[in-house]
Structures are given as structure tokens and as C-alpha cells.
């Protein structure tokens, strides 16, 4: 039985990197999607089907997904994209709505979004060609703060802001601390500055609605050290390699070590 067929007794299983991680790093798909394809029997290593998510692969092994050779791992790249309102963060939409991929240049490698912005939200969306980098940047343990400008109908009271800052449970979902400051009030609407570290689905809208406020605009202004700045709507700019290394050098070194068989 080959290692790809599930020979987990082999001592070589402790080397290299997990198969789903290797697929994600190629930019073909996210790690979660890679795991799904493995479990569906769509992945082969050295001609044998992969039967376990625990399989580790080493440089030089032949990996195929859906009968096609896995792309070589390219150096991680990161892009800033100004997502407009009315654009879906998805590869396809059954309703025929525009997606971010309709706005991206066709000459780029396949890019994956870091986190999400819902259909009616706008602002900074990070995109990467590396599924493992995507996963790392999305983890709350990475500790990067996401900042927003939020316009809402109504006013938050000081006690509401204090409750949000402590974190709260709402409809069975636990939300971590959210920092909220009033920026300006104009008529019935008010602009707030919001900072959080998790970013669950529609989190800001649900938390504000709990206190009786109707959110009518959300603009993400930063994700960790990366800023929206003056980037025009619909525009894409690559984060320079030097800046990426300044922010993520240690993590990128670990990825490179595993990919070359020098670490695990």
C-alpha cells in the first residue's frame, strides 16, 4: 500500500506538509475546500487516491486534483482591493449579481478573499494567491484588528458601547469585544468608528440592530496594518513584497521551510 493510500504507519508521515495545506498553498482553493475534495476522493498522490486528511506530502511527489496536476506553489502575494457596494464576495452567484471576480484583471493568478464583506458593505478586502496565508490572516489568534466606519440610523448609548466592549452573546452566538466610538452625528444618522478582531457573518449589523439601530452603510478602512487609504472603488493594488515581509516575515519563513522539506 502506498503512503497516498493511507499507510499512516510510515515514519515519513511526520515529514513534509499536510496534503490539504499543500493544495491550499498552490492557490487552487482554500484549505476547507481542499479537505472536501480529499474526502470526495478527488485527490491523488503518486497515482494513488488519498484516503486520509492526515497524509503529509514532500517536495517532488506528484499531486493531482480532479485528474489535473496541482499547480506549483508560487511565492505568497497579497493585494488590497476596494470592494464597492452591490458586489458579491463569491466566485459565482446563482442570481447573476456581480462578483469581485468580474472586477479583477483576468491576467492575475487565482485570488482568494481574506475574510468577507457582505453584498452591501464596501471598503478594504484583502486578496491572496495562497490559501494558507488566507487562513492565517483570518484566524482571530493572529490578532489583527479590522476597522470600519459605520453609518446607522439612531444612537448608541454609553452603556451599549460598554456592553459591546465586553463582548456579548446574541441569539446563541458569542461575539468578542467590539470597540465603538461616535465619530459624528448628522440628523437622524450617526457615523461610528468600529474595531473588532473576529468579524462573524453580518456581525456589525446584528449587534447594532440588537440596540435598535439600523445600519445603512459599512466601510472597512483597515485590516491589521493594511489600509484602504485613497484606493479608488473597484481598484486593486498589490502589497509590495518588502511590506509583506515586514509584516509577516516569520510566518512566511515557516511556510517556505515546510514547502522545501526543511521544517514541519
β-strand partners of 22: none
- pLDDT surpassing 80 at residue 1: no
Average pLDDT over residues 123-141: 90
Q: What pLDDT sits at residue 4?
A: 47
CATH hierarchy code of domain 78-241: 3.30.2350.10
Average pLDDT, the chain: 88
Structure confidence by residue, pLDDT tens digits, 46-55:
999 998 898 9
Q: Where are the domains of the chain?
A: 3-73, 78-241
Nearest to 164 by CA among 185, 150, 184, 143: 150
102 is catalytic: no
pTM: 0.80
HSE, side-chain direction, 13 A CA sphere, residue 178: 25
- pLDDT surpassing 60 at residue 100: yes
Report strand pairing: 168-170 vs 68-69: unpaired
- pLDDT surpassing 80 at residue 68: yes
CATH hierarchy code of domain 3-73: 3.10.290.10
Structure confidence by residue, pLDDT tens digits, 217-242:
999 999 999 999 999 999 999 999 99
Percent of the chain with pLDDT over 90: 62
- pLDDT surpassing 70 at residue 7: no
The residue written with cell numbers 441569539 in the block is 171
Choosing from 66, 118, 246, 253, the catalytic residue is 118
Confidence of residue 263 (pLDDT cuts 50, 70, 90): low
Nearest to 23 by CA among 14, 12, 35, 13: 35
Amino acid at each position: 500500500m502506498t503512503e497516498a493510500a493511507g499507510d499512516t504507519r510510515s515514519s515519513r508521515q511526520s515529514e513534509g506538509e499536510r496534503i490539504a495545506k499543500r493544495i491550499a498553498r498552490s492557490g487552487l482553493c482554500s484549505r476547507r475546500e481542499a479537505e472536501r475534495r480529499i474526502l470526495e476522493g478527488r485527490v491523488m498522490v503518486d497515482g494513488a487516491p488519498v484516503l486520509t486528511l492526515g497524509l503529509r506530502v514532500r517536495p517532488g511527489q506528484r499531486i493531482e486534483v480532479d485528474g489535473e496536476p496541482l499547480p506549483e506553489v508560487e511565492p505568497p502575494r497579497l493585494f488590497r482591493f476596494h470592494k464597492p457596494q452591490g458586489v458579491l464576495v463569491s466566485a459565482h452567484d446563482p442570481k447573476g449579481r456581480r462578483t469581485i471576480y468580474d472586477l479583477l484583471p483576468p491576467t492575475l493568478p487565482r485570488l482568494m478573499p481574506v475574510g468577507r464583506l457582505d453584498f452591501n458593505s464596501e471598503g478594504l478586502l484583502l486578496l491572496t494567491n495562497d490559501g494558507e496565508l488566507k487562513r492565517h490572516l483570518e484566524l482571530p489568534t493572529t490578532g489583527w484588528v479590522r476597522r470600519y466606519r459605520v453609518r446607522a440610523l439612531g444612537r448608541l448609548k454609553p452603556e451599549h458601547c460598554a456592553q459591546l466592549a465586553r463582548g456579548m452573546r446574541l441569539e446563541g452566538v458569542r461575539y468578542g469585544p467590539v470597540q465603538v466610538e461616535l465619530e459624528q452625528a448628522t440628523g437622524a444618522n450617526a457615523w461610528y468608528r468600529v474595531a473588532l478582531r473576529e468579524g462573524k457573518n453580518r456581525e456589525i449589523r446584528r449587534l447594532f440592530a440588537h440596540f435598535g439601530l439600523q445600519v445603512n452603510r459599512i466601510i472597512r478602512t483597515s485590516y491589521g496594518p493594511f489600509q484602504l487609504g485613497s484606493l479608488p472603488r473597484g481598484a486593486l493594488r498589490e502589497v509590495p513584497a518588502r511590506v509583506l515581509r515586514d509584516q509577516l516575515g516569520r510566518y512566511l519563513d515557516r511556510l517556505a521551510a515546510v514547502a522545501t522539506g526543511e521544517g514541519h
